[in-house]
Amino acid sequence: MPEIHTKASAIGHAECLVIGGGVIGSSIAYHAAREGHNTIMLERLLPGEGASKAAVGMLAAESEEFTDPELARFARTSRDAFPELVRELERLSGVSVEFRTEGFVTPFRSETEGHERWKAARTQENDHAEWWDARELARRIPGLDRQTIGAIYRSKETQLAPVQLCRAYAGAAAVLGASIWSGTHAKQLVVQNGRIRGVVTDKGFFTCNQVIIAGGLDSMQLLEQVGFHYPLYPVKGEAIAVSLKEHPLEYTIYADDIYLVPKQNNELWIGATSLPHHDNDEVTIAGLTGLLARASAWLPRVREASFIRTWAGLRPQAAAERPFIGAVPGLEGVYAAVGHYRNGVLLSDATGRAMAALLAGAGAVELGISGFSAECL
């Protein structure tokens, strides 16, 4: 005999019920609340404890050199919204997201490679990318590998602290009227006559008009419950934080084989390995030694740095190789925002904003996200 769930027995009701408090779910909760939707966010742990906790926090819209034009546009729109977004989130939530705006440097050792990549960057990014030759680089980043022939400098690239970003999104959403249910595990979506009625959780039943699945890697099971097959797989990433006591780095170094990201208190975050289908979050010696060897090849003084900590996380990669942001077909009121792989922090603002607009009735085409809808997967 199936359990009967009625509105009367529910412990909460939302117009929009967001499942997952990672960087994607918490951005959706914030943008939905900002648009005036009655919103609840369910997170089985605390906001920012999933893959988002492992992220380094780069908003690398150009340095990523996306080949998919729709994703490239979406990424730039998202990154460009951050200065204003950060002001608003910090004002509302009181949480500092440690936003840094010094820009990113992509160095090269090969003349041919460097000049080809610079030519491509100049064509696509025209206004603000610069070429720094070896002399300029030596002035800007003392101690960089002497074999570096030059670098692309991208002044608009920014970075921040991802866990704080999740907390700031969630905190700001709460100030705007959303309810944040940490420690609440969504177990079962309840669909009747082709439309969402609510969600069964370990705390009780929530009714809702719209549900948004933003549970990172674990979204797959929730989507399967409503008959939608969207395969995701983990891509493990390991990273390490060290302390550069003298001459802390100013710019983020975004090389092809490694990135070095300066953080508060002279911390330098070095990442990351990329191990598809590895589903544990152990940090291996091979991973760490590889990261440190590549980092110190670009910046030899990393060898003198002191060790702080290491961590690993699982990026939610989609078999379709692009995120799914949209309505689940054939059902009323079921949406998902998943598969952000290695760019969830970067894409969080645009994803939250687009989802809030979809919930209010806007179309994917008018929002410029039709390539991320179910029909295109």
Ligand X SMILES: Cc1cc2nc3c(=O)[nH]c(=O)nc-3n(C[C@H](O)[C@H](O)[C@H](O)COP(=O)(O)OP(=O)(O)OC[C@H]3O[C@@H](n4cnc5c(N)ncnc54)[C@H](O)[C@@H]3O)c2cc1C
Show Cβ contacts of residue 58 under 8 Å, excluding neighbours closer than 6 positions.
104, 157, 159, 252, 254, 259, 261, 345, 346
- Rounded CA-CA distance 249/11 in Å is 50
- As measured in angstroms, the least distance from the Cβ of 21 to ligand X is 5
Closest by Cα among 347, 159, 108 to 262:
159
Closest by Cα among 285, 296, 284, 374 to 337:
374
One-letter amino acid identity for 179?
Answer: S
- Rounded CA-CA distance 333/331 in Å is 6
- As measured in angstroms, the least distance from the Cβ of 182 to ligand X is 9
CA distance to 61, 137, 161, 266, per residue, from 250 (Å):
19, 12, 16, 10
- Binding of ligand X by 218 (CB under 6 A): yes
- Binding of ligand X by 262 (CB under 6 A): no
Q: How many residues bind ligand X (CB under 6 A)?
A: 40
Q: Do the strands 39-43 and 12-19 form a parallel or antiparallel pair, or are they unpaired?
A: parallel
8-state DSSP, 3: P
Among 237, 262, 326, 352, binds ligand X (CB under 6 A): 237
Among 57, 107, 150, 234, binds ligand X (CB under 6 A): 57
Token pair 């090849």 is found at 297
Is the Cβ of residue 77 or residue 115 nearer to ligand X in the bound state?
77
List binders of ligand X among 281-310 (CB under 6 A). Answer: none
Where do runs of H (alpha helix) occur along 218-327? 219-225, 285-298
Identify which range of 52-60, 119-127, 141-149, 285-293 contacts ligand X by CB under 6 A.
52-60
- Binding of ligand X by 56 (CB under 6 A): yes
Token pair 């249910």 is found at 181
Among 15, 35, 49, 136, binds ligand X (CB under 6 A): 49
Among 10, 35, 45, 155, binds ligand X (CB under 6 A): 45
- Binding of ligand X by 212 (CB under 6 A): no
Sign of CA dihedral 55, 56, 59, 61: negative
- Binding of ligand X by 340 (CB under 6 A): yes
- Closest-approach residue to ligand X (CB): 22
Angle at 314 between CA 311 and CA 316, to 5 degrees: 150
Is the Cβ of residue 186 or residue 364 nearer to ligand X in the bound state?
186
Binding mask 14-43 for ligand X (x = CB under 6 A): -----xxxxxxx----------------xx
- Binding of ligand X by 352 (CB under 6 A): no
- Binding of ligand X by 253 (CB under 6 A): no
Show Cβ contacts of residue 362 under 8 Å, excluding neighbours closer than 6 positions.
none
Is the Cβ of residue 48 or residue 107 nearer to ligand X in the bound state?
48
- Binding of ligand X by 371 (CB under 6 A): no
- As measured in angstroms, the least distance from the Cβ of 43 to ligand X is 5
Tell me which residues touch ligand X (CB under 6 A): 19-25, 42-45, 49-52, 54-58, 185-186, 214-216, 218, 237, 239, 271-272, 313, 315-316, 340-346
